[in-house]
A and B are shown apart, each in its own frame.
Chain A
Amino acid sequence: MHEFSIAQNIIGIIAEQCVRSGHSQIGSVNLRIGRASGIMPDALIFAFDAIKADTIARDAMLNIEHVPVTGLCNDCGSAFTVEDKYILACPDCGSNSFRITAGREMDIIDMDVS
C-alpha cells in the first residue's frame, strides 16, 4: 500500500536526477518491483498518473519489471522461485529455515530524458 507516497518519492527522485543531468522532460521510467514488496503495480501507476501533472514528470510513463520471490533453503541448499508473495516452506524439503534472496525490491533503474 502507500502507493501515493511511493509515487511522490519516485517523482522526487526522478525530478532531481533529470534536472541534475541538465534535462527538462522525462519519458519512460523503468522500475523493478518485487512481488513481495507490498506494492500493487496497477495502483502505483494510477497514483503516479494522478499526481504527475504539474511536475517535470508530467509526460513520464512507468514501466514495471516484476521480480518473483526467490528463496534459498538453509537445510537442503535448494534455490527456488514461487508464484505467491510469501514463502512458507522450502518446496523441495519442506524446511522453514530459508532466506528470501529476491522479491522485495522497490527500485528505480533508469529513465529516458530530453
Chain B
Amino acid sequence: MKVTVATKILEANERIALENRRIFGKAGVYVINLMSGPGAGKTSLLEKTLSLNTGLRIGVIEGDIAGSCDAERIEKYGAPVVQINTGGACHLDANMICEVLHDLPLQELDLLIIENVGNLVCPAEFKVGEDIKIMLLSIAEGHDKPLKYPLMFQESSVLILNKIDLAPYIDVDINKIKKDALSLNPNLKIFEVSCKTGEGLSAWIDWLREAALKR
C-alpha cells in the first residue's frame, strides 16, 4: 500500500535550526553565520572586529575539521569562544551548534558570530539557526568565484571583499567580482576591506553595530 510521507529530506536540520533560532531570539542575540573558502581571512576579520570599538558584547563559535588554533586566537581578545571540531564534516550543521550553544553565556551577548568551516560550497546549503549569512572573499581568490560558486553569493546578505591591500600586486578585476555577485544577488551589501591595513573596516563595524542592535 502507498503511504504518504510528505517530508523534506533535511527536515531534521531545519527543525533544529529553528529551535536554535528560538533560543537565540529568547536570549536577544543576533547571530551571523560567517562563511568563506579556506584562508580568506574569517578569523582575522573576527580579531579586528573584537579589537575595534563595536560597543557590542560578542561571542564566537569556531568551526574547523580539526584543531583549536582559531579559538585560541579569539580567546586572546577576551571573547567567550567555543571550538567545534567536525572530525571530517565539511560544514557546520544545526545539530553541531545545538550541542554547544549552552556553553556560551547567551544572556550576556548582543552578537554571536559562527565561523564556519572554510569551504565555498557546503556551508551555504545548511541553516544552523543564524539571522544572516555573511560571506568573505579574499580578492586573491580571483574574480571568477561568484559565477563558479553561485549559491554562496545567493544565500548571503553581506559580502566582504578582503585583502584589498594586495590589489596592486595581483591580476584581479574587483569591479567584475562586484558586478557578478550583484547579478546573482542584487540585494547583497558589499564591503571592501583589508584586515591587514585596517582599510574599510570602520564601515563594516558601523554596519555590524546597527544590524546587531536593531534585533
**Cβ-based interface call for B107 (8 A):** no
B residues near A18, Cβ cutoff 8 Å: 3
Query: Given A9-B10, A88-B184, A89-B183, is A17 in contact with B3 using a C-beta cutoff of 8 Å?
Result: yes
Q: How far is the CA of A112 from the CA of B10 in the complex (A)?
A: 21
**Cβ-based interface call for B170 (8 A):** no
**Cβ-based interface call for A108 (8 A):** yes
**Cβ-based interface call for B208 (8 A):** no
**Cβ-based interface call for A86 (8 A):** yes
**Cβ-based interface call for B182 (8 A):** yes
Query: Given A9-B12, A10-B9, A106-B10, is A2 in contact with B183 using a C-beta cutoff of 8 Å?
Result: no
A residues near B147, Cβ cutoff 8 Å: 88
Query: Given A1-B121, A110-B2, A112-B2, is A96 in contact with B186 using a C-beta cutoff of 8 Å?
Result: yes
**Cβ-based interface call for A47 (8 A):** no
Q: How far is the CA of A14 from the CA of B7 in the complex (A)?
A: 9
- Interface of chain A: mostly helix, strand, loop or mixed: mixed
Are B182 and A96 closer than 8 Å at their CB atoms?
yes
Number of interface residues, chain A, beta carbon within 8 A: 29
Q: How far is the CA of A52 from the CA of B12 in the complex (A)?
A: 20
B residues near A14, Cβ cutoff 8 Å: 5
**Cβ-based interface call for B200 (8 A):** no
Are B5 and A109 closer than 8 Å at their CB atoms?
yes
**Cβ-based interface call for B175 (8 A):** no
Number of interface residues, chain B, beta carbon within 8 A: 22
Nearest Cβ on chain A to B176's Cβ, whole angstroms: 14
Are B3 and A6 closer than 8 Å at their CB atoms?
no
Q: How far is the CA of A1 from the CA of B122 in the complex (A)?
A: 8
Are A97 and B186 closer than 8 Å at their CB atoms?
yes
Interface mask (A44-74 → B, CB under 8 Å = 1, otherwise 0): 0000000000000000000000000000000
Chain A CB count within 10 A is highest, among B2, B9, B10, for B9
Are A114 and B8 closer than 8 Å at their CB atoms?
no
- Return 22 A-B CB contacts under 8 Å, by A number: A1-B121, A6-B10, A9-B12, A12-B12, A13-B7, A13-B9, A17-B7, A31-B9, A38-B125, A86-B150, A88-B184, A96-B184, A97-B186, A108-B5, A108-B6, A110-B4, A110-B5, A110-B6, A111-B2, A112-B1, A113-B1, A113-B3
**B binding-site residues for A, Cβ under 8 Å:** 1-12, 121-122, 125, 147, 150-151, 182-184, 186
**A binding-site residues for B, Cβ under 8 Å:** 1-2, 6, 9-10, 12-14, 17-18, 21, 23, 29, 31, 38, 86, 88-89, 96-97, 106-114
Further 14 A-B residue pairs, CB within 8 A, beyond A13-B5, A113-B3: A2-B122, A9-B10, A18-B3, A23-B1, A23-B3, A88-B184, A89-B183, A97-B186, A106-B8, A107-B6, A107-B7, A109-B6, A111-B2, A113-B2
In the A-B complex, list the 9 residue pairs whose CB atoms are closest, starting with the nearest.
Answer: A108-B5, A106-B9, A110-B4, A96-B183, A86-B150, A21-B3, A96-B186, A108-B7, A9-B9
